[in-house]
């Protein structure tokens, strides 16, 4: 305990954590704000199926994007360790590998997206109106896929270099433009669900182009050159691809949980799937804010591991963990006291409000349960310990699935209880993996 207090009182670490976390929290919060604006704008249109279409279509797109999260996570860990070594050549290699993978995967996903969406909608058994509107939204969003994946790689790379201003510029540009265009296209031009999707596409391309422009000044701090011959060698790709493979499998398991949540909600009715989407917007708001601290931890831990500084690694974890707990307590209090206002701000459809309000206590508890998995994800990503992340996630899903089956008879309450249990299991399994690595002295070799 005295050692933890000493780490918490280390002012320089607080400054380093917040120098990275503050801009990332600001930019991250803009991401769920886009979902909130989408829901609010569409939620004030006359039909529940329009709100449901944006919820389901956005979920399908987010599912695919979530699977590609390794483009950001892998780039952050490798870039942070290269920066810790002062390796300018390595930083350039990580950047190019991330962008090339983004373009390759965008082409692959474009081929798979249509059959995937068809199968997913079949499983949900939506009404004809909901299916048609969802397909319109989702097919339009696919036009922004290459830009969205490139932004993942760029944001991850900038974070690894402990440059939080560039991700702030990319994400704020993307999301503020998205919000403005949403209001114009849906309310001003009356383009409905299609207008919401078009706004996202334009915003995604704008953010990606800005990110590419910002890489040049960022590289000046790390002199070096692109070793083109290395990019043609399998050995140069193997470490990143191995880490990305494991993060992909981890992300696949996580996104399947969210997909099942939406599928089961859709089977309970249009009002329920729309209500769950509004509640999950609250979870997204919490997650993206807490991810700002986790992103700071990724960069600081990766840098400390690259420089072999065990004390810096420990202090970064303690300080980021303490602040994460405090922020999660604030979110829990806000949702507990004002959750009904949060729902009312997003829609004036009475049936959706009535369907959402009984589940607000789950939303209040979620930040306190989920905070630990977000924090530990940051530690493992910075250390490029993707295999352990994968194993922890798969174990969590395997343990949560039987519980979800047992709770099916409770309807949407059972769905939310199972989801809470899953988030708790994520933290427990990651903590156990981290403790085992600590016992072996494997964090800083």
The two tokens of residue 194 are 């299609």
Q: Is the pLDDT of residue 125 over 90?
A: no
Local confidence band at 126 (pLDDT 50, 70, 90 cut-offs): low
Gap between the terminal Cα atoms of the chain: 25
The two tokens of residue 167 are 């991700």
445 domain-assigned: no
Q: Give the count of domains, the chain.
A: 1
Local confidence band at 205 (pLDDT 50, 70, 90 cut-offs): very high
248 domain-assigned: yes
CB 399 within 8 A of CB 427: no
Q: Is the pLDDT of residue 215 over 70?
A: yes
The two tokens of residue 72 are 């950001």
What is the model's pLDDT at position 102?
Answer: 92
* 151 closest CA partner among 136, 172, 137: 172
* 177 closest CA partner among 205, 139, 153, 155: 205
CB 263 within 8 A of CB 120: yes
Please state, in angstroms and rounded to a whole number, the distance separating the CA atoms of residues 190 and 198.
Answer: 12
Residue 49 makes CB contacts below 8 A (sequence gap 6+) with 127, 129, 130, 133, 270
* Average model confidence (pLDDT) across the chain: 83
pLDDT digits (tens, 9 = 90+) for 355-398: 888 899 999 999 999 999 999 998 898 888 888 999 999 999 99
3-state class (DSSP) for residue 392: helix
Q: Is the pLDDT of residue 418 over 80?
A: yes
CB 399 within 8 A of CB 409: no
Q: Is the pLDDT of residue 33 over 80?
A: no
pLDDT digits (tens, 9 = 90+) for 276-333: 888 888 888 888 788 888 888 887 887 888 777 878 888 998 999 999 999 999 999 9
What is the model's pLDDT at position 430?
Answer: 94
3-state class (DSSP) for residue 308: coil
What is the model's pLDDT at position 394?
Answer: 94
37 domain-assigned: yes
Local confidence band at 45 (pLDDT 50, 70, 90 cut-offs): low
Q: Is the pLDDT of residue 79 over 70?
A: yes
3-state class (DSSP) for residue 45: coil
Query: How many whole angstroms from its chain centre is CA 440?
Result: 30
444 domain-assigned: no
What is the model's pLDDT at position 30?
Answer: 60
414 domain-assigned: yes
3-state class (DSSP) for residue 390: helix
The whole domain housing 15 covers 2-439
What is the model's pLDDT at position 378?
Answer: 87
């Amino acid at each position: 305990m005295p050692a933890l207090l000493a780490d918490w009182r280390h002012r320089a670490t607080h400054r380093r954590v917040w120098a990275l976390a503050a801009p990332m929290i600001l930019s991250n919060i803009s991401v769920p704000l886009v979902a909130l604006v989408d829901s609010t704008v569409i939620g004030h249109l006359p039909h529940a199926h329009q709100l449901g279409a944006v919820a389901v279509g956005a979920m399908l797109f987010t599912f695919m994007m979530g699977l590609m999260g390794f483009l950001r996570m892998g780039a952050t860990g490798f870039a942070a360790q290269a920066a810790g070594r002062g390796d300018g050549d390595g930083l350039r290699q990580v950047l190019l590998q991330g962008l090339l993978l983004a373009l390759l995967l965008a082409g692959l996903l474009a081929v798979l997206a249509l059959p995937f969406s068809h199968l997913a909608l079949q499983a949900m058994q939506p009404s004809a109106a909901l299916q048609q509107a969802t397909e319109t939204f989702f097919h339009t969003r696919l036009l922004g896929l290459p830009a969205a994946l490139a932004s993942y790689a760029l944001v991850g790379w900038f974070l690894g270099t402990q440059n939080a201003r560039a991700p702030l510029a990319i994400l704020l540009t993307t999301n503020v433009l998205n919000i403005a265009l949403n209001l114009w296209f849906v309310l001003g031009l009356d383009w409905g669900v299609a207008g919401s999707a078009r706004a996202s596409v334009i915003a995604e391309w704008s953010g990606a182009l800005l990110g590419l422009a910002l890489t040049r000044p960022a590289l000046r701090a790390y002199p070096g050159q692109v070793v083109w011959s290395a990019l043609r060698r399998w050995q140069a790709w193997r470490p990143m691809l191995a880490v990305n493979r494991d993060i992909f499998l981890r992300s696949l398991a996580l996104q399947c949980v969210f997909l099942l949540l939406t599928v089961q909600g859709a089977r309970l009715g249009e009002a329920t799937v729309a209500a769950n989407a509004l509640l999950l917007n609250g979870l997204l708001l919490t997650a993206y804010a807490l991810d700002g601290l986790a992103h700071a931890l990724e960069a600081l831990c990766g840098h400390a591991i690259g420089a072999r500084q065990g004390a810096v690694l420990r202090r970064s974890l303690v300080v980021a963990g303490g602040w994460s707990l405090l922020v999660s307590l604030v979110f829990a209090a806000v949702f507990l006291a004002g959750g009904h206002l949060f729902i009312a701000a997003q829609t004036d459809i009475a049936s959706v409000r009535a369907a959402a309000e009984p589940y607000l206590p789950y939303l209040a508890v979620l930040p306190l349960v989920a905070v630990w998995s977000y924090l530990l994800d940051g530690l493992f990503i910075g250390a490029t310990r993707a295999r352990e992340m994968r194993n922890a996630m798969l174990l969590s899903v395997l343990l949560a699935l039987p519980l979800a089956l047992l709770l099916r008879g409770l309807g949407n309450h059972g769905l939310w209880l199972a989801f809470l249990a899953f988030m708790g299991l994520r933290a427990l399994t990651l903590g156990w993996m981290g403790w085992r690595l600590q016992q072996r002295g494997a964090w800083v070799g």
